[in-house]
A and B are shown apart, each in its own frame.
Chain A
């Protein structure tokens, strides 16, 4: 498969039509979908109509969008007007939103070709895609393995090289962990960088949409297209969006990379993983980067802090699913309260119920200060840790994950083991800073990503370092997925 920027260039130069590129992507998806189950809904007619429209405009010599002709998979958390948008949940199994998310509108405006809606953990709660109410998705690099989650469907289809662009969301690691597992680039932008309007809410102070792509250049292009202020999201920030692609460089001369002592201690328990990351840092050094030791002393409290704040926000956000205005309803209840209860009990899966109950508890009168407010204070300390670290370095390099993709079913009965998968990604989410995962090699033939993060709104800096590393190491290209 070509990258998104290669397809786009070929389409605008009329070497290949958008329709041909779209048909090729739909064929590739059709070939591997019986093994991967990456999509909840495929949209071939919509995709081909859009592709023909792009071709017609190019034929007339008209200007087309920056992503024109590039097949794109969209996580089923983004509202798409008139098309099924399930968020991986039975309670939204028949929901067709009356409007599109801002991100989808920007993709359409940029002339990307949306080919389908991808599978995910229900309401984005999970790290393996096994919490989907419909079916699990498989990892194209190991069909017995999970693709990661919650953005597992987008990761799987991009990792299988069916499409170059995927769109995910990241609350505590839901873009970066699946990107690592599926050997692709995954970017969680700064909180506030990308509009959340029309993106079904899980934890509103943490949720952020971002690209999951074949390479760093694609991530830069896709991020630029979706980023920017949106009056429909009062937490989107009015900071100019740079032309990320022009910031990408091929060396790291003068770049100071922070190495987090606490994270290196944690990863040392697995010698193979530790060696992979040591090699990755050495590669950054060979490109001219210098290193500085930094400390995130409160990172070890990340899991506890996150599992108070995110469930608290989730319990509030998911109160809207009550069978009244949209979504499923269980009929036959004697009164409205029984209807709420029956609807929510039947409509939500176990993980969603677990988090709603945990969050309701954290917000309960009598416990609110002890849990929720205390977690918010620790969040402040974690943010201050990053501020101090970035006073000494330009970017931080660290593990994205503690392991290569694990097998389906290996952790699905043990929620705490699953929560620990986000150990290295949660602190950046709580601090709201941008972070990405870029392919960094293989452990026992399975892909592993390197995490890079930067201060708020410095995505360009982080992408630039990732690009230099990717271009010199080319790890993703060294092997082929099991299916493609």
Chain B
């Protein structure tokens, strides 16, 4: 397994979270300790093992494509921080 330390600045940008320098340093030290455990997984030979994404024997769960009662537009928008008419309103996306 890679011994590369986590590039906290890069990863937090991907996660859209800003960390202070103090937080970055603290998280790095904490991750380093956690990776002492995570590196142990490297000892295992898992070449022929199938990964488990979920534990129950279900696949391709289908439902009827039927019309059912649903939220009204106002209900769906009731928690929106900002709206304009029937739309969620956000700051500009394009230049």
Contact = CB atoms under 8 A, between A and B. Distances in A.
A354 B30 contact: yes
Given A324-B88, A337-B16, A383 B79 contact: no
A467 interface: no
Contacts of A333: 91
A375 interface: yes
Contact of A301 (B2, B33, B40, B78): B40
A363 to B, nearest CB: 9
Interface in B1-18: 1-2, 4, 6, 8, 11-12, 14-18
B54 A191 contact: yes
A350 B11 contact: no
Nearest to A429: B55
Contacts of A323: 81, 90
B76 A360 contact: no
B25 interface: no
B81 A370 contact: no
A328 B81 contact: yes
A99 B1 CA distance: 44
B67 interface: no
B50 A377 contact: yes
Interface in B28-64: 30-31, 33-34, 37-42, 44, 46, 49-56, 58, 61, 63
B55 A371 contact: no
B39 to A, nearest CB: 8
B37 A357 contact: no
A11 interface: no
B contact face: mostly helix, strand, loop, or mixed:
loop
A205 interface: yes
A377 B15 contact: no
Contact of A357 (B2, B4, B12, B33): B12
A367 B2 contact: yes
Interface in A314-354: 315, 322-329, 331, 333-342, 344-345, 348, 350, 353-354
Interface stretch (A45-53, A230-238, A285-293, A437-445): A230-238
Interface string A203-244: 001000000000000000000000000010011010000000
Contacts of A326: 79-81
Nearest to A432: B55
B75 interface: yes
Nearest to A417: B33
A358 B31 contact: yes
Contacts of A305: 41
Contact of B56 (A235, A307, A334): A235
B46 A419 contact: no
Given A307-B34, A416-B34, A336 B93 contact: yes
A99 B81 contact: no
B25 to A, nearest CB: 13
Nearest to B20: A345
A162 to B, nearest CB: 31
Nearest to B33: A416
B20 to A, nearest CB: 9
Interface of B: 1-2, 4, 6, 8, 11-12, 14-19, 23, 27, 30-31, 33-34, 37-42, 44, 46, 49-56, 58, 61, 63, 71, 75-76, 78-82, 88, 90-93
Given A415-B34, A431-B55, 12 more contacts: A98-B79, A237-B56, A308-B41, A326-B81, A327-B79, A340-B16, A341-B17, A341-B18, A353-B23, A358-B6, A360-B15, A378-B41
Interface of A: 95-99, 191-192, 205, 231, 234-235, 237, 298, 300-301, 303-305, 307-308, 315, 322-329, 331, 333-342, 344-345, 348, 350, 353-354, 356-358, 360-361, 364, 366-367, 370-371, 373-381, 383, 415-416, 419, 430-432, 456
29 contacts: A96-B79, A98-B71, A98-B79, A231-B63, A234-B58, A235-B54, A235-B61, A237-B56, A307-B34, A307-B38, A315-B15, A323-B81, A325-B79, A335-B93, A339-B90, A350-B23, A354-B30, A364-B11, A364-B14, A367-B2, A367-B4, A374-B1, A374-B42, A376-B51, A378-B46, A380-B52, A381-B44, A381-B49, A383-B52
